Amino acid sequence: MKEKARLSHVYTTVSDLAAARAFWTGLIGLEVLVDDDAYLRLGGAGGYSMGMERADEGEAPEVEIVVRVPDVDVAYQRLQSAGIDCGGPPREIPWGARHIWLRDPDGHLISIYASSDEDAK
């Protein structure tokens, strides 16, 4: 059976990573999956997760919806054919994925990626 696109995770920038960690783990009850100086990944039952990084100074926090596809180049061609601006072709990212970024009709930031490594999300 051919692999289909699936929601991978939500990514957001936050103004204070420590405060976000305390809120999402202590008050909401999510589990810490990754916690380093610059990146926090939280999850819970069902395997869906949320990644966070601190927003740059003066930058408003933004939510990014992340979708995993079997072939990001095919997705890129389909989007280009439909007249969707992806800001350029798929880019190799250091953690082992190829991404494109675009906005949905309401302006929400979408990241579409493909990776052969299940953990590289």
Rounded to two decimals, the pTM is 0.77
Look at residue 10 and tell me if it is in a domain.
Answer: yes
Within 13 A of 89's CA, how many CA atoms are on the CB side?
Answer: 4
Look at residue 16 and tell me if it is in a domain.
Answer: yes
| Rounded (10°) CA dihedral 101, 102, 103, 104 | -110
Look at residue 103 and tell me if it is in a domain.
Answer: yes
Look at residue 79 and tell me if it is in a domain.
Answer: yes
Contact 9, 65 (CB under 8 A): no
What's the confidence (pLDDT) of residue 117?
A: 60
Residue with tokens 């990626």: 113
Look at residue 121 and tell me if it is in a domain.
Answer: no
Q: What domain count does the chain have?
A: 1
CATH number at residue 89: 3.10.180.10
Per residue in 26-85, pLDDT tens?
A: 988 899 999 988 999 999 877 889 999 999 988 888 899 999 999 999 999 999 999 999
What's the confidence (pLDDT) of residue 76?
A: 95
Domain hosting residue 23, numbered range: 6-114
Mean pLDDT of the chain: 88
| Rounded (10°) CA dihedral 31, 34, 39, 41 | -40
